[in-house]
Amino acid sequence: MQLLGLAVLIIGIWANVNGKDYVDITDNSSQFTQMSVLVIVLGLFVLIIGIVGVVGAIFASTIFGRIVLGLVSWRCVCACVYVLCMHTVYVSVCA
């Protein structure tokens, strides 16, 4: 999705920079410049949505992100830490 947004953004910038040649051919230059700006805005929107999706997926895959999103409760995390600590103490005492 980021690549699609980046491609649309590049096309919009290219059309805005190199559009002077095409404006001379057409009768209405304002429509061409408005379309290139619209394509740039659309490309930025798709790029931002894609980046937010990737960051959200990374955030949701970490334990802190799961706690913040409510996918894992604090009680579960505390229980896991307690079990790990008790296992460490048990192993060190019995060894």
Instruction: Decide if pLDDT at 33 tops 80.
Output: no
Inter-CA distances, 12 with 35, 37, 49, Å: 8, 7, 18
Please indicate whether residue 55 or residue 30 has the higher confidence score (pLDDT).
Answer: 55
Instruction: Decide if pLDDT at 51 tops 60.
Output: yes
Spell out the domain ranges in the chain.
2-94
Q: What is the pTM of this model?
A: 0.58
Q: Within 10 Å of residue 12's Cβ, how many Cβ atoms?
A: 21
Confidence band for 71, pLDDT divided at 50, 70 and 90:
low
